[in-house]
Amino acid sequence: MAPSHVLKCCQKVLAWVPVAFIALVVAWSYYAYVVELCVFTISSTAEKVVYLVVFHLSFVMFVWSYGKTIFTSPATPSNEFCLSKADKEQYEKEERPESQQEILRRAAKDLPIYTTTASRAIRYCDRCQLIKPDRCHHCSACDVCVLKMDHHCPWVNNCVGFSNYKFFLLFLMYSLLYCLFVAATVLQYFIKFWTNELPDTHAKFHVLFLFFVAAMFFISILSLFSYHCWLVGKNRSTIGEKGIFDCLTGELSSFDVSTETFRAPTFRNGPDKNGFSLGCSKNLREVFGDEKKYWLLPIFTSLGDGCNFPTRLVTMDPEQLTVSSQNEPAKSSGANQSFPTRPLSESQNRLLAGDCQWVESGPEEESVKSGSLDCKYF
């Protein structure tokens, strides 16, 4: 027990090494730019003032968003997704997967769940002992189920998910602008030192190295930021993109590989990568909120509660499901499970309110019978 406890403590300490490395690089860049460049190298007072004002603005926003990404705890599922004591005991006693799934289906019938595993089973976390909400995954590094988990990032020593995804995007954007500004303003003095137009001083090393570091980080962050901008526009997550993020950055995402790691989220109609996409503008609002004046500030403004999300793929009415199940034999034990039994509530469907209505009867009856409810935009 003791060696295991010591090992866990060592792992927790080592997990902060990448964060400490970034902090040291940022602290050195601040010293190199403010002291060595602006104080000792630049002779023009006006140029110094302009550079220092813009530099400190980008520096503050960068550090603020980075800190929020690190210290914002991952959001976890609410208690309604936990099994009751009786269901939990019954689930643990059952040995047959079919019987366990029946218990889960009964517990999940009133939950706003729209996705399943690839085998059409209800997604359940044995570690946390709860039914996973849509887009929720278990992180082995944090040892919790994280709402709308994107990935576990070692550079922030935290899971990036519903509670801090906006902060993570702003961190990438401001770090990109920070590196771009530093590299652009240092370039002329880098050339002057390189060509010996300026005398050799103690500032030379700092200025030369500062340009290389800023340019290197800018190039690496640019690809990552571009990729996440594409994900936001499509309303997808890193987990659902077949590990592309890991290939680009070398990061290892710690999550349950049995779900979205190598496949798109599975709805009743089958896998669909665009199942949660509501269009680019609504996808942006889902992450950044309704009020654009807060979009560039690292304060939480994301819509919803992280447990359920608006989706353009809404399963059929339970009564229609019963009729169709009588006409067609079940292909598998989980193929005709009757969840969810209701569309998203008005409070959890803000992105669709006002410009979308659920059609459950009338002229669209034919589309209902085909297995889905239409979501129309006006």
Positions marked catalytic: 153
Alpha-carbon distance values, 337 to 132, 137, 275, 313 (Å): 16, 21, 19, 16
- Kindly write down the DSSP assignment for every residue of 266-277, as one continuous string: EETTEE-TTTT-
Burial-class residue 258 by CB neighbours within 10 Å (0-12, 13-18, 19+).
middle
Q: What stretches of 258-349 adopt beta strand conformation (E)? A: 266-267, 270-271, 314-315
Q: Which of 143, 91, 95 is nearest to 122 (CA)?
A: 91
- Size (the chain), residues: 378
Residue with tokens 């961190």: 171
Mutual angle of helices 45-71 and 17-31, in 10-degree steps:
170
195 Rama class: left (phi>0) / alpha (psi -120 to 50) / beta: alpha
**Using CB atoms within 10 A of its CB, is residue 34 exposed (0-12), middle (13-18) or buried (19+)?**
middle
User: Exposure pattern of 330-351 as b/e (b: 16+ CB <10 Å)?
Assistant: eeeebebbebbeebbeeebbbb
DSSP 8-state code for residue 136: -
State the CB neighbour count (10 A cutoff) for residue 248.
14
Least Cα distance to 314 among 281, 284, 287, 278 occurs for 278
